[in-house]
């Protein structure tokens, strides 16, 4: 079993013929992902990367049976692209676009309620189910199939965590990059819950950062409902209050938003908190009883 995407997922690329869409769709195809076509308004009926191009998501879904979309659309148009995908019946929508206005995302969140669609992102690296489907911009070679799930706000740290886990011989089930914007489609808790319910996932790596309350929310859920070991890391441990660190959502607004406060809550909830991403793999190995040292 896998979480969100697998070898049978049929992916439609929104913004297919642009530079970003072309580059990453090529990488996804090389990984073995089942990309069935793409959407570029005005170019419907043409072919790109030997795949059909459609004017609308609805046309693409009708023609190909696509159930997943990945969005490489400029910020002013990305919110509309998300809602178009949901309206067309896409079940998993991955939005890579960075810089979508917050007011647009408020409208998207409201629109998605009751739609049956799950949004990952925006401003995220996407999802990868190792050796099955890469729906995102992550370097696929890092992810080898195994038994550890990853939930992360940070793209770069997702890759680092995966590398650490693979080097310990455990491998990855699914890695979910949820995005670092203030308003995102899937929270840390929701992503952790998906992995906690996946029978093939035996442990979870949870990577957060300063700002917001998602890690605390997830930690409290894990304390109540968790059945698998969770290794946690918080980026931005040296950030002073008021300093934003890269992501729009990574800004300390109060005492509970700091890395120290989050790490304290996570420890109290039974999470194996690490001070450095360099020890994520070995900490998980210990948590699973694979090593004793």
Q: Where are the alpha helices (DSSP H) in the chain?
A: 19-31, 57-64, 75-87, 102-112, 155-167, 188-196, 214-225, 259-268, 280-287
**CA–CA gap between residue 288 and residue 144 (Å, rounded):** 18
Predicted local distance difference test score (pLDDT) of residue 250: 46
pLDDT, tens digit (0-9, with 9 covering 90-100), for 239-262: 666 555 555 554 445 556 788 999
- Dig out the tokens for 39 from the structure: 């959407």
pLDDT (tens digit, 0 to 9) for every residue of the chain, 293 residues total?
Answer: 579 999 999 999 999 999 999 999 999 999 999 999 999 999 999 999 999 999 999 999 999 999 999 999 999 999 999 999 999 999 999 999 999 999 999 999 999 998 999 999 999 999 999 999 999 999 999 999 999 999 999 889 999 999 999 999 999 999 999 998 989 999 999 999 999 999 999 999 999 988 889 999 999 999 999 999 999 999 887 666 655 555 555 444 555 678 899 999 999 999 999 999 999 999 999 999 998 76
Whole-angstrom Cα Rg for the chain: 19
CATH of 138-287, one of 3.20.19.10, 2.40.50.60, 3.40.50.1100, 3.40.50.261: 3.40.50.261
pLDDT, tens digit (0-9, with 9 covering 90-100), for 183-230: 999 999 999 999 999 999 999 999 998 888 999 999 999 999 999 999
Residue 24 annotated as catalytic:
no
Backbone angles phi, psi at 277, to 5 degrees: -65, -15
Location of structure tokens 């300093």: 243
Query: What burial letters (b/e) apply to 46-64, b meaning 16+ CB within 10 Å?
Result: eebbebbbbeebbbbbeeb
**CA–CA gap between residue 71 and residue 135 (Å, rounded):** 10
Location of structure tokens 């570029």: 40
Tally of CA atoms within 13 A in the half-sphere of 215 that contains its CB? 34
Predicted local distance difference test score (pLDDT) of residue 252: 47
CA dihedral 55, 56, 58, 62 (to 10 degrees): 20
Residues linked to residue 149 through DSSP beta bridges, in sequence order:
204
Residues linked to residue 208 through DSSP beta bridges, in sequence order:
234
**CA–CA gap between residue 106 and residue 87 (Å, rounded):** 17
Predicted local distance difference test score (pLDDT) of residue 175: 98
CATH architecture type of domain 11-120: 3-Layer(aba) Sandwich (3.40)
Residues linked to residue 37 through DSSP beta bridges, in sequence order:
12
| CB atoms near residue 109 (< 10 Å) | 14
Catalytic residue selected from 24, 48, 247, 272: 247
Location of structure tokens 């698998």: 228
Domain boundaries, the chain: 11-120, 138-287
**Domain 11-120 identical in fold to domain 138-287:** yes
Predicted local distance difference test score (pLDDT) of residue 249: 52
Q: Computed from CA positions of residues 39, 184, 77, 21, in that sequence, does the dihedral angle turn out positive or negative?
A: negative
Residues linked to residue 244 through DSSP beta bridges, in sequence order:
251
């Amino acid at each position: 079993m896998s979480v969100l995407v697998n070898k049978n997922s049929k992916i439609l690329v929104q913004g297919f013929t642009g530079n970003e869409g072309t580059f990453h769709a090529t990488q996804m195809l090389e990984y073995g992902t089942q990309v069935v076509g793409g959407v570029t308004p005005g170019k419907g009926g043409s072919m790109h990367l030997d795949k059909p191009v459609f004017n609308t998501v609805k046309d693409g879904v009708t023609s190909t049976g696509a159930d997943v979309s990945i969005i490489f659309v400029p910020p002013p148009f990305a919110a509309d692209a998300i809602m178009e995908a949901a309206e067309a019946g896409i079940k998993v929508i991955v939005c890579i676009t960075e810089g979508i206005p917050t007011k647009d995302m408020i409208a998207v969140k409201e629109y998605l309620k009751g739609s049956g669609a799950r949004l990952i992102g925006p401003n995220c690296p996407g999802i990868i189910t190792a050796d099955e489907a890469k729906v995102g911009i992550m370097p696929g070679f890092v992810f080898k199939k195994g038994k550890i799930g990853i939930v992360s706000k940070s793209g770069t740290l997702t890759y680092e965590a995966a590398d650490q886990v693979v080097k310990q011989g455990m491998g990855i089930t699914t890695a979910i990059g949820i995005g670092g914007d203030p308003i995102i489609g899937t929270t840390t808790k929701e992503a952790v819950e998906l992995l906690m319910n996946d029978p093939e996932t035996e442990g979870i790596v949870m990577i957060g950062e300063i700002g917001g309350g998602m890690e605390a929310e997830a930690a409290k859920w894990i304390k109540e409902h968790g059945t698998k070991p969770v290794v946690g890391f918080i980026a931005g441990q040296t950030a002073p209050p008021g300093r934003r660190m890269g992501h729009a959502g990574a800004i300390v607004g109060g005492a509970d938003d700091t890395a120290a406060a989050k790490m304290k809550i996570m420890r109290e909830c039974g999470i194996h908190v690490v001070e450095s991403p360099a020890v994520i793999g070995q900490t998980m190995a210990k948590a699973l009883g694979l090593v004793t040292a």
